[in-house]
Amino acid sequence: MEALNSILTAIAKLGGEHSAATALQELRVATVNLISEVAKNFKEERKVVTVSSCEQEKCLQQWGEDEGVKSQLEISYFEGAGRGAVARQDMRIGDIAMEIPLSIVISENLVHASQMVHVVNVIAFAWLNYLCFLLAFSLGLLQ
61-86 pLDDT, tens digit per residue, is 888 899 999 999 888 877 777 778 88
| Confidence at residue 46, expressed as pLDDT on a 0 to 100 scale | 56
| Confidence at residue 71, expressed as pLDDT on a 0 to 100 scale | 92
| Confidence at residue 16, expressed as pLDDT on a 0 to 100 scale | 57
Please state the rounded mean pLDDT for residues 34-55.
65
- Give the model's confidence band at 18: pLDDT under 50 very low, under 70 low, under 90 confident, else very high: low
Percent of the chain residues past pLDDT 70, beyond the cut: 73
- Give the model's confidence band at 48: pLDDT under 50 very low, under 70 low, under 90 confident, else very high: low
Question: 91 in helix, strand or coil?
Answer: coil
How many Å apart are CA 48 and CA 83, to the nearest integer? 10
How many Å apart are CA 78 and CA 86, to the nearest integer? 9
**How far from chain centre, in Å, is Cα 82?**
15
Across the chain, what does the average pLDDT equal? 76
The number of beta carbons lying within 10 Å of the beta carbon of residue 84 is 22
The reported pTM is: 0.43
| Confidence at residue 32, expressed as pLDDT on a 0 to 100 scale | 80
